């Protein structure tokens, strides 16, 4: 799996030049706008809610001794909780709403990589692509929340919280990569088949998602460029996986 994580990361190095070569930047205009507006809405709300969540958590501690220390920790955990949930919501919202725009881009990249312009894949409409994006990302959102909340609770346990941070990051990365890979997979597989494919190639998904999450840490520019570069990188590796079909099932 580590090898495929590295491959997923390395795909980003050629993404920018490929977008320019195929003149795809114009197709990213609306997804970029969606990303920017969604980021402002979510992170503005998150900033206002962080103190409230921290205050709510601190009420769990009913004793006087250690109250101040627990309140400080609660405020930190509350802020972290809001940031993590905000990131989860952000990525699934933009990937779902951008599906009708990203799928055609992915198709053009696949045609360039394979030399195939005559497709025998599943033909889908704008609304069908949007609905699939909502279904895939809605399902992934639920699964990610189910995994994330227990991991966040581990933050209260000393030493364990170090490993929980790494685990939390990998979970976020996997589902980000999953969404980016599905823009290609929707032409080849139905929902359940796509899910099985990503599981078999989860290293590629994690590698792609790692850079996706890191991009979100770059103010403004990261939010704007994250979809074009991550979708292009994901398409490159997904097409290779579909062609070769030699990636180990436990990758």
| 201 within 8 A of 245, measured Cβ to Cβ | no
Residues 63-82 have a mean pLDDT of 70
Domain ranges of the chain: 2-28+98-244
pLDDT of 120 reads 47
Residues 31-60 have a mean pLDDT of 76
Averaged pLDDT score across all residues of the chain? 83
pLDDT tier at 1 (50, 70, 90 boundaries)?
confident
| 215 within 8 A of 234, measured Cβ to Cβ | no
The DSSP secondary-structure symbol of 225 reads H
User: 3-state DSSP helix/strand/coil percent for the chain, to nearest 5?
Assistant: 80, 0, 20
> Percent of the chain at pLDDT above 70?
82
pLDDT of 246 reads 45
Closest CA to 198 of 212, 172, 180: 180
pLDDT tier at 40 (50, 70, 90 boundaries)?
confident
> What is the chain's Cα-based Rg?
19
Per-residue pLDDT reduced to its tens digit, 200-221:
999 999 999 999 999 988 888 8
Sign of dihedral through CA atoms 17, 15, 188, 31? Answer: negative
pLDDT tier at 247 (50, 70, 90 boundaries)?
very low
pLDDT tier at 118 (50, 70, 90 boundaries)?
low
d(CA 86, CA 105) in angstroms, rounded, equals 27
The DSSP secondary-structure symbol of 170 reads H
Residues 77-83 have a mean pLDDT of 73
Torsion of CA 163, 168, 171, 172, to 10 degrees: -150
Q: pTM, whole model, 2 decimals?
A: 0.82
String of DSSP letters for 67-116: HHHHHHHHHHHHHHHHHHHHHHHHHHHHHHHTHHHHHHHHHHHHHHHH--
- For residue 232, is pLDDT > 60? yes
Number of H helices, E strands in the chain: 10, 0
């Amino acid at each position: 799996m580590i090898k495929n994580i590295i491959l997923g990361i390395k795909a980003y190095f050629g993404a920018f030049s490929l977008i320019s070569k195929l003149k795809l930047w114009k197709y990213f205009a609306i997804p970029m706008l969606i990303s920017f507006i969604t980021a402002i809405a979510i992170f503005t709300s998150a900033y206002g809610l962080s103190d409230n969540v921290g205050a709510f958590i601190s009420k769990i501690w009913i004793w006087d001794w250690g109250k101040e220390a627990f309140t400080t920790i609660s405020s930190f955990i509350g802020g972290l909780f809001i940031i993590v949930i905000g990131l989860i919501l952000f990525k699934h919202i933009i990937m779902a709403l951008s599906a009708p725009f990203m799928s055609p881009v992915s198709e053009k990249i696949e045609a360039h990589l394979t030399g195939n312009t005559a497709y025998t894949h599943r033909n889908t409409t704008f609304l069908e692509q949007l609905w699939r994006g909502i279904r895939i990302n809605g399902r992934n959102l639920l699964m990610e929340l189910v995994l994330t909340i227990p991991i966040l609770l581990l933050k209260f346990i000393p030493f364990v919280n170090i490993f929980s941070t790494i685990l939390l990051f990998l979970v976020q990365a996997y589902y980000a990569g999953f969404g980016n890979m599905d823009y290609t997979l929707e032409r080849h597989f139905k929902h359940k088949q796509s899910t099985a494919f990503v599981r078999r190639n989860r290293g590629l998904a994690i590698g792609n998602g790692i850079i996706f999450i890191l991009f979100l840490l770059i103010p403004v520019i990261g939010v704007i460029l994250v979809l074009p570069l991550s979708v292009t990188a994901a398409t490159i590796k997904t097409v290779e996986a579909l062609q070769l079909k030699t990636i180990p099932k436990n990758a």
